[in-house]
């Protein structure tokens, strides 16, 4: 079965990962590139419990003179639990901390979501990226790479792919953030929305030429709730009327994203809806968007800002005298209705 036929299982996984993410487990996800002479991975002391797994290996050029014979000899002599002997580089993932055994069990279940074809697509995507990079350096032979087919490895590779789409560059960090429970929750929520491994944009319009009726500002931890609100707004407001990051992924994959986002929230949106919560108060990108919101308020354009509270956590700059919609007692559809009312008021006022 494909992902489209597994919505119930995806929702079950979302629920259990959401529960564990809320516990703030002491757990970390690190990645290591290991070359022939070792590297920092080989000398580092890891916290217990931990789980190390090979995610992929780059073997080298195999269609050069003697390359195939060398490859076959090393294949016969290798303990494939740890990878292929003679590889030029191995890419390892390490989960460490008290929450490791639980996460590994959950990751194995999540990795089993993918059909054989979907698992193959994930592996092919990794291999193609490696081959492209190596071919640019050495063109005399064909770069050969392999990807671990273990469900845990498949899931960790998918998490890194998810990061490369949602936060370009963060997937190449040594320490992967957020923690693996929270990252898995975000990746699963994206799967629930897109039901596909392919990056899907709902719009190919040029961002700088758009004028949005609504822009939403929220932390990734609340994406599931906000997505339902946005889905309820699309029909009444029409195409390219709501700025929601997943709808414009290709256009947002660029340097200096901060200045582009500031322009969208400050100058290209009639109403900015801010989903306030504990996570919003500490997230870096939310902080950037929050500066724009405060500037709008400073300019006495209060009618362009709408607060939706998803918990009672304090957020710097929000006072007890500020009005808000209670997202804990209103459904996403009800919140969407409130937003539509505000937009109608703005349009009548203009």
Q: Which domains does the chain have, with CATH numbers?
A: 3-194 (no CATH), 207-349 (3.40.50.10140)
Tens-place pLDDT, residues 271-299: 999 999 998 888 888 888 999 999 999 99
pLDDT of residue 98: 95
3-state SS of the chain?
Answer: CCHHHCHHHHHHHHHHHHHHHCCCCCCEEEEEEEECCECHHHHCCCCCCEEEEEEEEEEEECCCCCHHHHHHHHHHHCCCCCCCCCCCEEEEEEEECCCHHHHHHHHHHHHCCCCHHHHHHHHHHHHHHHHHHHHHHCCCCCEEEEECCCHHHHHHHHHHHHHHHHCCCHHHCCEECCCHHHHHHHHHHHHHHHCCCCCCCCCCCCHHHCCEEEEEECCHHHHHHHHHHHHHHHHHHCCCCEECHHHHHHHHCCCCHHHHHHHHHHHCEEEEEEEECHHHHHCHHHHHHHHHHHHHHHCCCHHHEEEEECCCCCCCCCCCCCCCEECCCCCHHHHHHHHHHHHHHHHHHC
pLDDT band at 345 (very low <50, low <70, confident <90, very high): very high
pLDDT of residue 101: 96
pTM for the model stands at 0.58
pLDDT band at 71 (very low <50, low <70, confident <90, very high): low
pLDDT band at 201 (very low <50, low <70, confident <90, very high): low
């Amino acid at each position: 079965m494909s992902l489209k036929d597994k919505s119930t299982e995806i929702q079950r996984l979302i629920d259990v990962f959401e529960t564990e993410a809320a516990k703030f487990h002491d757990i970390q996800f690190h990645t290591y590139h290991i070359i022939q002479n070792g590297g920092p991975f080989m000398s580092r002391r890891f916290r217990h419990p931990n789980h190390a797994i090979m995610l992929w290996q780059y073997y080298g050029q195999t269609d050069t003179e003697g390359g195939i014979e060398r490859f076959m000899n090393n294949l016969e002599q290798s303990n494939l639990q740890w990878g292929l002997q003679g590889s030029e580089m191995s890419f390892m993932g390490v989960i460490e901390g008290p929450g490791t055994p639980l996460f590994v069990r959950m990751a194995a279940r999540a990795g089993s979501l993918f059909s054989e074809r979907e698992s193959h697509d994930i592996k092919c995507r990794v291999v193609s990226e490696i081959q492209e990079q190596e071919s640019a350096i050495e063109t005399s032979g064909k770069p050969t790479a392999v990807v671990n087919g273990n469900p845990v490895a498949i899931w960790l590779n998918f998490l890194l792919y998810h990061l490369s789409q949602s936060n370009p560059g963060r997937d190449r960090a040594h320490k992967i953030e957020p923690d693996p429970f929270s990252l898995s929750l975000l990746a699963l929520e994206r799967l629930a929305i897109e039901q596909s491994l392919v990056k899907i944009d709902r719009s190919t319009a040029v961002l700088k030429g758009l004028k949005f009726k609504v822009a939403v500002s929220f932390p990734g931890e609340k994406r599931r709730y906000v997505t339902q609100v946005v889905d309820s707004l699309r029909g009444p407001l029409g195409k390219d009327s709501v700025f929601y990051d997943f709808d414009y992924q290709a256009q947002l994959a660029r340097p200096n994203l901060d200045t582009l986002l500031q322009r969208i929230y400050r100058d290209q949106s009639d109403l900015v809806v801010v989903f306030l919560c504990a996570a919003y108060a500490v997230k870096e990108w939310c902080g950037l968007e929050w500066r724009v919101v405060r500037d709008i308020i400073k300019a006495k354009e209060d009618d362009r800002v709408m607060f939706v509270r998803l918990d009672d956590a304090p957020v710097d700059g929000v006072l007890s005298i500020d009005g808000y919609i209670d997202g804990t007692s209103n459904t996403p559809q009800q919140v969407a209705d409130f937003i539509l009312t505000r937009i109608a008021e703005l349009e009548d006022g203009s």
